[in-house]
């Protein structure tokens, strides 16, 4: 069964605008962690932000914030004030308790246009 | 400091040949992971090493795939009798197991093409 679902088609975003990338997950664990990674065309995977299942506040890292809705099992990434360098694939991932591997979604393609 | 490094960056091989992919994790990181990313897809977990514990091999797709980690540092992923469906980018990551969220740091990957 797919643990991470990212279903949005490729997105075009105007520079300086905000964009929200959807991620839903499936787990029966109470303790887990959610991650977002960015993969530009160069191929490297860049860690962006982390949300723990017991964290009461939504995570923020600079222009990145995570809209965590535990009851709905969603962990959407919000990128504010988009920049041309934000053009990339974005992957949502989950690590379940007692398991160090990451389960990744299929990714969201974002293209920022000037 | 140095990040995760992988070699070679690109590998083209003929079907049926064996290949070895190398990963140098970040110094001091005790956990090392291998993932595979096929074209246009997310990452698929292959294998995980943690210290001296037995590795978690549950993601290896067939017995043609194996990996070892020597001295708790460098790791080699070996694919025997390569098939065309093995063509993918192989990504290595490392992390400190202790920490608030054990963020995994990824290497640049090895792009494997099997002709």
**Binned average pLDDT, 10 residues per bin, chain A of 114 residues:** 85 96 94 94 92 93 96 96 97 87 93 96
* Predicted local confidence at residue A5, as pLDDT: 95
Angle (CA) B11 B12 B18, round 5°: 85
Asked if A45 and B33 come within 8 Å (Cβ–Cβ), the reply is: no
Percent of chain A surpassing pLDDT 70:
99
pLDDT tens figures, B26-74: 998 989 999 999 987 789 999 999 888 889 999 999 999 999 998 878 9
Closest CA–CA distance from residue B6 to any residue of chain A (Å): 11
Q: Is B100 on the interface with A (CB under 8 A)?
A: yes
Closest CA to A21 of A62, A82, A70, A71: A82
Comparing CB atoms, the residue among B97, B104, B111 nearest residue A102 is B104
Asked if B48 and A95 come within 8 Å (Cβ–Cβ), the reply is: no
Phi, psi of B24 (to 5 degrees): -110, 110
Chain B residues with CB under 8 Å of A50 CB are 100-101, 103
* Predicted local confidence at residue B2, as pLDDT: 82
Asked if B109 and A44 come within 8 Å (Cβ–Cβ), the reply is: yes
Q: Is B105 on the interface with A (CB under 8 A)?
A: yes
Asked if B101 and A100 come within 8 Å (Cβ–Cβ), the reply is: no
**Please, what's the largest Cα pairwise distance for chain A?**
44
Chain A residues with CB under 8 Å of B33 CB are 100-102
Q: Answer whether A48's CB lies under 8 Å from A40's CB.
A: no
Torsion of CA A11, A14, A16, A18, to 10 degrees: -40
Comparing CB atoms, the residue among A42, A100, A106 nearest residue B42 is A106
Q: How far apart are CA B76 and CA B98, in angstroms?
A: 24
């Amino acid at each position: 069964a797919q643990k991470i679902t990212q279903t949005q088609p490729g997105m075009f975003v105007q520079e300086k605008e905000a964009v929200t990338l959807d991620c839903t997950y499936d787990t029966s664990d109470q303790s887990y962690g959610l991650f977002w990674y960015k993969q530009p065309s160069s191929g490297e995977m860049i860690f962006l932000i982390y949300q723990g299942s017991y964290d009461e506040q939504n995570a923020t890292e600079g222009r990145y914030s995570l809209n965590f809705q535990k009851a709905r099992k969603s962990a959407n990434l919000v990128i504010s004030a988009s920049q041309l360098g934000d053009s990339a694939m974005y992957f949502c991932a989950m690590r379940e308790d007692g398991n160090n591997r990451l389960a990744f979604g299929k990714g969201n393609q974002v293209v920022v246009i000037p | 400091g140095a990040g995760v490094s992988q070699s070679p960056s690109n590998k083209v091989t003929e079907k049926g040949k064996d290949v070895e992919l190398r990963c140098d994790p970040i110094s001091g990181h005790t956990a090392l992971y291998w993932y595979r990313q096929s074209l246009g897809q997310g990452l698929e977990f292959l294998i995980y090493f943690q210290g001296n514990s037995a590795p978690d091999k549950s993601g290896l797709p067939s017995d043609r795939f194996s990996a070892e980690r020597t001295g708790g540092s460098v790791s080699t992923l070996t694919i025997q009798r390569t098939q065309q469906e093995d063509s993918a980018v192989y990504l290595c990551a490392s992390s400190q197991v202790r920490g608030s969220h054990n963020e995994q740091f990824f290497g640049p990957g090895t792009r494997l093409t099997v002709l």
